[in-house]
Amino acid sequence: MSDTLVPINRVIPGLLEIANPSKEGMAKPEDKSSADFTELLSNLVKNVNEVQHESAELQQAFLNGEPVELHQVMVKAEEAGLAMELLLEIRNKLVNAYSDLIRMPL
């Protein structure tokens, strides 16, 4: 299971620990402050941006005639597209959750 999550873990750091917690990797209740939500979102955006830049660099190298295989360019472009779609879906879910909280009666 962890083999299929390795590329995803590059976009969302810490996903492997959440999906497959082991006794050594389980967070203690007092350690929850270290995994700050804003830090997680910030890392997610940075990683998606990094994947997008890598894809653009590989595409530019291919267009310049450097020895880059077409399938590498296509795989990197697809990875960047999926990372962006994931980020947009997470954003949409967060906006929907916020809207639901705002509409809740007190």
> What is the pTM assigned to this prediction?
0.66
For residue 14, the model assigns a pLDDT of 61
Query: What residue has token string 């077409």?
Result: 70
Domain boundaries of the chain, sorted by first residue: 2-103
Q: What are the respective helix, strand and coil percentages of the chain, to the nearest 5? A: 75, 0, 25
> What is the rounded CA–CA span in Å between residue 72 and residue 7?
15
Query: Which residue type sits at 10?
Result: R
Query: Which residue type sits at 98?
Result: Y
Q: What is the pLDDT of residues 7-52, one digit of tens each?
A: 666 666 665 565 565 655 555 555 555 568 888 888 999 999 999 9
Q: What is the pLDDT of residues 79-103, one digit of tens each?
A: 999 999 999 999 999 999 999 999 9
Query: What residue has token string 């947009």?
Result: 88
